[in-house]
Amino acid sequence: MMLGIEAVAEGAYAAGVRLFTSAPDTASAEAVAYLQQREDADELRMELAPNEKVALEVAYGASLSGARALCVVSSSGLNAAADPFFAGSAIGVRGGLVIVAVDDPGGCASRWSQDSRPIALSACVPVLEPSYSHEIFVAVVVAYELSERFDTPVLVRLTRRLAFSRSSTVGYGERKQKNRWTYLEKPEKFALREGRAARQHDIQAERMRQLAEYADEAALNDAQMHSAELGVVSSGVCFEYAQEAFPGASFLKLGITHPLPAATVLEFASQVNEVLVVEEMEPFIENQMRELGVPCRGKDLLPRHGEFSADLLRRAALDGEEGGTVPANDLPERPPVMCAGCGHRGILHVLRSLRARVIGDLGCLTLGSFEPLGGMDAVLCLGGAVGVAHGLDHGNPDSAGRTVAVTGDGALLHSGIPALQHMISHNSPGTVIVAENEAVGFTGGQPHSASGWNLAGGSSKRTDLAALIRALGAESVQVVDPTDLGGLRRVVEDAMRSNGLDVIVARRPCEHLRLGEAPLPFTVTANCRDCGACHSLGCPAIGRSGGRAEISAKACVGCSMCAQVCPHDAIDRREAR
C-alpha cells in the first residue's frame, strides 16, 4: 500500500531522478518523509526551496545539466512558479523535467481551490492525469520519457484525494541509472532572447501536434465499451468515482488530457448515444471536446467546485440533484487551532486587545483566525501580508496607525521580503510583526533558511532574519518574545504610534522543534472564578471542569501566557510534573 504522493517519489526514484525540489507544503512533506526512509536516499537529492519559483528554477537547472529533475507543487504553488514554468516550456529541456501539481478541488487544505490544468494549457505543457497510486508511479516514469522525447516540461496533475489515498500496489522496478549528459557550451536554444517569441511559438505548436499524435497511441488511455447508451469520459480519481456510479456504461479513461487524443475521443463518441464528461473543477476536457465538435454533457450537470464522490455523480447525473453539499447540522465546528502553548498566539491576543486592523499571512497564524482568537481582518496569499497592509494604508490614510501586518517567517522568506523592500523604498510608515518560529510549522515543520538545518539532516548556514530586515533599510527592528505579553504589548503600541516603519520580530521556536523537556506545566487554583480570561487565548490545553478552568498537564508546555492574563491570580506553575 502506497500513498499517491509516495508513488510520485517512487516513480521519480525508478526514473533515475537526481534532484527533487519543492517548497514546503503538505504533499511534498509526505514525499520527502517517504524518500528519507530509503537507505540509498542520497542518490536522489531532496531540496526545499523558499518558494516554488526557486524550486522550479533549481529543477530546471538540473535538467539543463542533463539530469532528470522533479518539482512538486501545490496548485497555488504553480502560480508562484508560473514564470519558470512558461519559460521552461518555451525553451525546452535537456534532462527530463516533470512538475507534479496537487490540486485541492474542495479547498480542504488550502484557502481556495484552483485547477492547474488550464495553466498548463496556456503554457503548452502536456498534462498526465493518473487515477490511483500504481498509475501515478507509471505516469511519472512515462512523463520523463515524454519530457526528453518531446523536449518539454511535463505536468502530472494530482488532486488531494489521489495524493493522500493509499492503494494496493504491485512491485516496482529497479532505479534507472541515467548517464549525465555533458554540458553544452553556449547552446543557442537555452538563452531566451527578445524577438524570438514567434519562433518559439512555432516550435511549441509543432511539439503539441506531435504530442497529440502520441496521445492517440498512448497506453495511458483506455476505452472500455459496454452499453451504447452512455459513454463517460473521465480522468484522475474522477474515473474511479464514475466507474462506481455508472455500472454498465462505456468508459473512456484519459491518462493524458492535454493535448487531447482527438481520434480516440471522436471514435469513442461515435459509438455511444450520449457523452458525459466527469471532471472536478474546470471543464478542461469538456472544452477541448467541444472544440473537436463532440456534443457532450458535463458542467451543466456537475458542480465546478468541491470534491466528487460516486454518490454525488449518481445524484447529479441521474436524478438532476444539486450535488456537493454536506448535510447541515447544528454541531459546533472543530477547525484546526494553534497548538497548545504556541507562543505566537500572544501576537494575536495583544493585537486584539489593541483593536488593531490585522492583515495576516498564510501559515500557523491563520489557525488563530477563528474564535476565540479571531485574529485576522484580511489574508490574501502566501507572502502577501506586508504588501496588502501597505496598500490599505495608502488607500485609506485614516487606517494608518491601526493597521498591522502579521507574517510568519516562512511566508516572509517565501515572497514577503520584496514587499518590505517596497515599503522601504517608498519611505512608508507601518507596523510589521514577523512571527519567527524557525520553521514552516503549518505544513509539518519543514526548515527554511532561518532554521539552521535542512533536509539533508545536518545543520546549515542560517539567515539572521532581524539582521536581514535591518540590511534592507528598516531602521526600527526589535526582537521580542511573544509570550511576554506585557513587553510585546508595549513594543506594538509604540510601533503603532510611531510615524516610521517598525518591524517587530517575535522570536520563539515552534514547540514541535523543542529540544529537551518543556518547562513545568501550569495548574488552576481555587482562586478561579471561571471568568473566561484564559480561554480568550484559545489554547487547546485549557478546558473547563466543575465550574472552573482546567489545564491539561499533558498538553501544557508551560508558556505562562494564561497565568499572565488571569485577573484573579488563579493559575500557578506546578511544582513537579
Which residues are at the interface with another protein (CB under 8 A)?
1, 3, 26, 30, 108-109, 132, 160-161, 164-168, 237, 240-241, 243-244, 307, 309-312, 326-327, 329, 331-339, 364, 367, 370-372, 442-443, 532, 535-536, 538-540, 542-544, 549
The least CB distance from residue 394 to another protein, in Å, is 32
The least CB distance from residue 451 to another protein, in Å, is 19
The least CB distance from residue 27 to another protein, in Å, is 8
**Residue 328 or 576 having the CB closest to another protein:** 328
The least CB distance from residue 477 to another protein, in Å, is 30
Three-class secondary structure of residue 312 per DSSP? helix
User: How do beta strands 230-234 and 250-253 pair?
Assistant: parallel
**Residue 336 or 500 having the CB closest to another protein:** 336
**Residue 169 or 463 having the CB closest to another protein:** 169
The least CB distance from residue 548 to another protein, in Å, is 11
The least CB distance from residue 301 to another protein, in Å, is 17
Residue count (the chain) = 577
Nearest to 276 by CA among 246, 306, 255, 305: 246
Nearest to 522 by CA among 542, 544, 548, 536: 542
**Residue 120 or 158 having the CB closest to another protein:** 158
> Do 155 and 149 touch, CB atoms closer than 8 A?
no
**Residue 374 or 487 having the CB closest to another protein:** 374
**Residue 322 or 398 having the CB closest to another protein:** 322
C-alpha span between 154 and 157 (Å, rounded): 10
Residue carrying the nine cell digits 462506481: 244
- Give the CA distances from residue 480 to residues 343, 344, 519, in Å, rounded to whole numbers and listed in that order: 11, 11, 19
C-alpha span between 49 and 21 (Å, rounded): 7
**Residue 114 or 449 having the CB closest to another protein:** 114
C-alpha span between 77 and 29 (Å, rounded): 14
**Residue 109 or 496 having the CB closest to another protein:** 109
Nearest to 76 by CA among 387, 370, 383, 454: 383
**Residue 301 or 337 having the CB closest to another protein:** 337
C-alpha span between 507 and 129 (Å, rounded): 43
Question: What spatial distance separates the first Cα and last Cα of the chain, rounded to whole Å?
Answer: 41
The least CB distance from residue 247 to another protein, in Å, is 10
The least CB distance from residue 463 to another protein, in Å, is 26
Per residue, the 3-state secondary structure of 510-562, as one string, reads CHHHCCCCCCCCEEECCCCCCCCCHHHHCCCCEEEECCEEEECCCCCCCCCHH
The least CB distance from residue 100 to another protein, in Å, is 16
C-alpha span between 349 and 347 (Å, rounded): 5
Beta-bridge mates of residue 99: 71, 155
Instruction: Report the phi/psi class of residue 363: left, alpha or beta, with left for phi > 0 and alpha for psi in -120 to 50.
Output: left
